[in-house]
Amino acid sequence: MPWRRRTKDIRELEAEVAQLQAQVKQLESENRQLSGQVTIYKAARDFMNLLFYAIPACVLVTDDKGRIMKASQRMQDLIGFTETELVGKQTVEISARTDELLKTQAKAIEHKALKKDVERFESFLRHRDGAELPISSAIAFARDSTGKPLGAVAVVNERT
């Protein structure tokens, strides 16, 4: 009888639809949870940015290749460049004495390979107006959980 077969097909389809509706409800619930987590992470990121830019120190954050990623407001004020102008530049590009900085960076790379931070080095940065700024810095290298280098954070102090 063809009508019974059709009824069975409809029941199977109704069961599939009910199952899909349950899956949609589950996905909607997971989406709400993820949206809440994203909101929390964004708020945490924004708060950390507020703290970073308010920090009362000259700080540069670089990636593992030495490209500038962030510069604290005090750092921007010290050298006269905005963060937008600095992001993506190599640290040697803001150096007043490139040869000296390259030697210092070679030492820093040795320290990074040995998984040591650089406690203190002295150098010169170039201000936007061309003036040389004597500085001393400390560098901490950031690593992921496997020890792979991610970047570095330098705290810079103007020498007088």
In terms of DSSP bridges, do strands 58-63 and 149-158 run parallel, antiparallel, or are they unpaired? antiparallel
How large is the average pLDDT for residues 88-114?
75
Place of tokens 């407001």: 73
Question: Does the pLDDT of residue 101 top 70, yes or no?
Answer: no
Mean pLDDT for all residues in the chain: 86
Other C-beta atoms closer than 10 Å to the C-beta of 72 total 21
Pick the CATH number of 56-158 from 3.30.750.24, 3.40.50.1820, 3.40.50.300, 3.30.450.20: 3.30.450.20
Residue ranges per domain, the chain?
1-54, 56-158
> Tell me: the pLDDT tens digits for 14-70?
899 999 999 999 999 999 999 999 999 999 999 999 999 999 999 999 998 889 999
Cβ proximity of 159 and 146 under 8 Å: no
By C-alpha distance, which of 129, 119, 130, 132 is closest to 159?
132
Question: How many whole angstroms separate alpha carbon 47 and alpha carbon 35?
Answer: 18
Share of the chain above pLDDT 90, in %: 54
